[in-house]
Structure 1
Amino acid sequence: MPHNGPQPVDRHLPTEEARDLLALTRELAQREILPRAAEEEDTGHFPRDTFALIGEAGLLGLPYPEEYGGGGQPYEVYLQVLEELAAARLTVGLGVSVHTLACHAVAHFGTKEQRAEHLPAMLGGALLGAYCLSEPAAGSDAASLNTRAVLKDGDWTIDGTKAWITHGGVADFYTVLARSGAEGPRGITAFLVPADSPGLTAAQPERKMGMKGSPTAQVHFDGVTVPDSRRVGEEGQGFSIALSALDSGRLGIAACAVGVAQGALDEALAYTLARKQFGRPLVDFQGLRFMLADMATKIEAGRALYLAAARLRDAGRDFSRQAAMAKLFCTDAAMQVTTDAVQLLGGYGYTVDFPVERYMREAKVLQIVEGTNQIQRMVIARHLAGPESKP
């Protein structure tokens, strides 16, 4: 019997516009992103021109209002676009997710004047953003951050160091969380800081095992001054702004993870269809067929989980628990699926001649960013059983 190759994902999209949008994304990914991915990841090239192209195509501000240059699309649609981009190249898919995260504070907590002034350039692709929450000594415990902002004569002066910043050194603006008051979560305020601000510098990018085309760097603030008009939200509201952004960002990571897993499955299926051993295609061997079936099931389950959480978000309902579940499940699934893809390709899977080894290296970071998967389990358990008892 003839074997069928990888098939396009069967999407359930709410409108004809959404279907056209996803078709455009798939075409752009196949034509402009995928052919360059292996070489540019190997050399560590950041594809800034790709982000400009994505912006021109209207894909950089999809979940934000059309009146400010966004796409006005539900999160259910935006996340499926992310998945398609990540399947072609995680540097691009994750980069769009981080940029969307960086726009969240202004879009949801900014004044009408701030949205009108900043969002059109941010959402239209003229500017690329980064999100500055983590610090060298404040990762999972984000409320203990030490970067400080002091108000004097209508201007804020920011001093400190942020760490693990995606787009550090290449972004045009940074959404920065800094301590403006007492210790703890209530003393944190959010700011929109231009990248060309005097005193703002980025360190050399971290040397990473994957996503080498996406710069991750410390960002230093040495007496960086911004006017109070660039404070986003109220003083002391920054931590709640950060948490609301992270719930949405976790869904972005979940979608990217499913994209990476789907890309790995497609490669593994194509290889096992074409490769013959003992006079038969590899895909005819039951043990390998079962591996492919398990991989596909994990991907489909992950996709269903992140879309269910997105629909809750689109309906205005609480989705924090489901976002944590989606991030946890999808990224763990991506790690397993990409590892299995390497195994299915045998020795070839361990070489850079095939992309599955890159998918496996990239999947690992998705279990860490936007809250480690151990943190996700804590979040889920708190929703189920309440906060932990304190001695």
Structure 2
Amino acid sequence: MPEPTPAPSDDLAAAVGGALAGVDLADARAVWRALGTKGITAALYPRAGTGPPQPDPRSLAVLLAELDARCPLGVTLSVCVQVATVLPLLAEPSGPADRARTGLLHGETVVALAVTDAAGSGSDLLDATTWAKLGEGSFTVDGHKQWITNATTCDAALVLVRHREPRHFTSFCWLLVPMSAPGVTVEPAGRAFAGSGVGHLKFDGVVLDNDALVGRPGRALAGFARQVGVERLAGALWARAMCRRLLADLRDWLRQRPAAGGTLWDRPAIRERYARCLVALHQLDALCTPLLDSTDAPAAAAGMLLKVTAAEAVDRITAEAVQLRGADAFRDGGEAALRTEAAMFGIAGGATGAMLAGIADHADELVGSRS
């Protein structure tokens, strides 16, 4: 079957709007189902190549911008994880992974990405202790995964597990674990990120057939390392859309807010603070734009730069919006609540501190030689 061709940006934006008309935008499964039913999810993956199918960056940018404009942050997060990471990692030719991928593309199935381990730092996956022991034609899984998007709403979880003792990147594999399997329990992780289904997963003697294995044993971290660049690009594209939306709203509010015979927009100090936010947005934009037409995932250093720049732009712009709007920012659904949730841009997929340490490791590459 030929790969679907992504629609032009304007057409895709209209298609997303049409697909979501009449849908409960606070219900992540309903949004996911609508995107799949209308073929929008499948159309994100136009390229046939040697590696896992990747979302088209321009189409992904349009989708995330349209979701950000309409849906709660948690719902956009639910979709983003699946299209940027889960679907490519499930690119298997047969078995449960292939069936799950087909269900995902049609919006019939939700799959959580269960990576962050309760026993180790979220940024150091080598410390993970969720185990899979190989038996007679089966795996037995034990362990805990924490702060997993879609945990409370998914049909299955793609779980990173250790299958060998050494603290080495070849000691891990992926298993596709049905939530209905005996020994799987789910605990909601509170009320934050409404719509994301974030929760904690526990696996207590969960027995799975060998066909639950996704990919080759020992290749899980290598595959995830390749995919994390796409995940960071998706996060940066989403952050860019969010920052642009917030700055447009803030500009209009400042121009309408009376102050000393004029408006707040007329005050030089206010305009300077707003201009610094514009600089942050365009720094992020400058990193994203060259990648929109690339057929390759961002390299390691580029991905970390995207991650840090997106996190810092979102933090600066949400902080300024809260301070400048004052009491208005604390209304229901206002910038104050958004700022709290948007802090996840600095944590999910690797904390900013860990990213900065990694960027420093690429100093020779990023600085270049003296000339």
Q: Match for residue 106 of structure 1?
A: 90
CA contact (8 A) 1:254 1:330 kept: yes
Where do 4+ consecutive residues of structure 1 move more than 4 Å? 26-29, 70-73, 112-116
**2:269 corresponds to 1:287:** yes
Q: Match for residue 100 of structure 2?
A: 118
CA contact (8 A) 1:106 1:114 kept: no
CA contact (8 A) 2:308 2:346 kept: yes
Structure 2 Cα separation of the partners of residues 121 and 217 of structure 1: 22
CA contact (8 A) 1:189 1:239 kept: yes
**2:5 corresponds to 1:23:** no
Shift of 1:275: 1.6
**2:325 corresponds to 1:325:** no
Q: Match for residue 270 of structure 1?
A: 252
CA contact (8 A) 1:87 1:261 kept: no
Q: Match for residue 382 of structure 1?
A: 361
Shift of 1:189: 0.7
Structure 2 Cα separation of the partners of residues 160 and 55 of structure 1: 32
CA gap of 1:15–1:318, structure 2 versus 1, over 3 A, is: closer
Structure 2 Cα separation of the partners of residues 163 and 142 of structure 1: 13
Q: How does 1:4-43 map to 2 (within 5 A)?
A: 17-25=8-16
Residues 237-273 of structure 1 show CA distances to partners (whole Å, capped at 9, x for unaligned) of 1111222222211112222222322232122122112
**2:290 corresponds to 1:308:** yes
Shift of 1:187: 0.9
Q: How does 1:48-63 map to 2 (within 5 A)?
A: 48-63=29-44
Shift of 1:384: 2.8
Q: Match for residue 206 of structure 1?
A: 190
Structure 1 Cα separation of the partners of residues 62 and 77 of structure 2: 13
CA gap of 1:283–1:261, structure 2 versus 1, over 3 A, is: same
Stretch of structure 1 that moved more, 53-62 or 116-125: 53-62
Aligned with residue 352 of structure 2, among 351, 370, 373: 373
Residues 84-113 of structure 1 show CA distances to partners (whole Å, capped at 9, x for unaligned) of 323443212211111122222112xx2355
Structure 1 Cα separation of the partners of residues 286 and 149 of structure 2: 27
Shift of 1:117: 2.9
CA gap of 1:80–1:207, structure 2 versus 1, over 3 A, is: same
Residues 158-207 of structure 1 show CA distances to partners (whole Å, capped at 9, x for unaligned) of 11111110111211121111011122221111111222222111013235
- What is the number of equivalent residue pairs in this alignment? 354
Which runs of no fewer than 5 residues in structure 1 stay unpaired? 1-13, 41-45, 387-391
CA contact (8 A) 1:62 1:78 kept: no
Shift of 1:231: 0.7
Structure 2 Cα separation of the partners of residues 376 and 327 of structure 1: 7
CA gap of 1:119–1:331, structure 2 versus 1, over 3 A, is: same
CA contact (8 A) 2:75 2:194 kept: no
Shift of 1:130: 0.9
User: Percent identity at matched positions?
Assistant: 24
Aligned with residue 129 of structure 2, among 129, 136, 146: 146
Aligned with residue 355 of structure 1, among 327, 331, 334: 334
Shift of 1:317: 6.4
Aligned amino acid, residue 328 of structure 2: Y
Q: Match for residue 243 of structure 2?
A: 261
Structure 2 Cα separation of the partners of residues 28 and 303 of structure 1: 28
CA gap of 1:311–1:143, structure 2 versus 1, over 3 A, is: farther
The two structures have a TM-score, normalised by structure 2, of 0.86
Aligned with residue 158 of structure 1, among 141, 144, 158: 141
Aligned with residue 226 of structure 2, among 244, 249, 254: 244
CA contact (8 A) 2:111 2:155 kept: yes
Shift of 1:53: 1.9
Shift of 1:16: 5.8
Aligned amino acid, residue 159 of structure 2: V
Q: Match for residue 183 of structure 1?
A: 166
Q: Match for residue 11 of structure 1?
A: none
Structure 2 Cα separation of the partners of residues 152 and 372 of structure 1: 36
- Please state whether the residue corresponding to 1:252 is helix, strand or coil: helix
CA contact (8 A) 1:63 1:74 kept: yes
Shift of 1:374: 1.2
Aligned amino acid, residue 16 of structure 2: T
| CA-based RMSD | 2.8
Structure 2 Cα separation of the partners of residues 289 and 150 of structure 1: 60
Q: How does 1:80-95 map to 2 (within 5 A)?
A: 80-88=62-70, 89-95=72-78
CA gap of 1:328–1:299, structure 2 versus 1, over 3 A, is: same
CA contact (8 A) 2:162 2:171 kept: yes
CA contact (8 A) 1:76 1:307 kept: no
Aligned amino acid, residue 179 of structure 1: R
CA contact (8 A) 2:170 2:218 kept: yes
Aligned amino acid, residue 317 of structure 2: V
Q: Match for residue 334 of structure 1?
A: 314
CA gap of 1:359–1:325, structure 2 versus 1, over 3 A, is: same
Structure 1 Cα separation of the partners of residues 297 and 327 of structure 2: 48
Q: Match for residue 118 of structure 2?
A: 136
Stretch of structure 1 that moved more, 125-134 or 20-29: 20-29
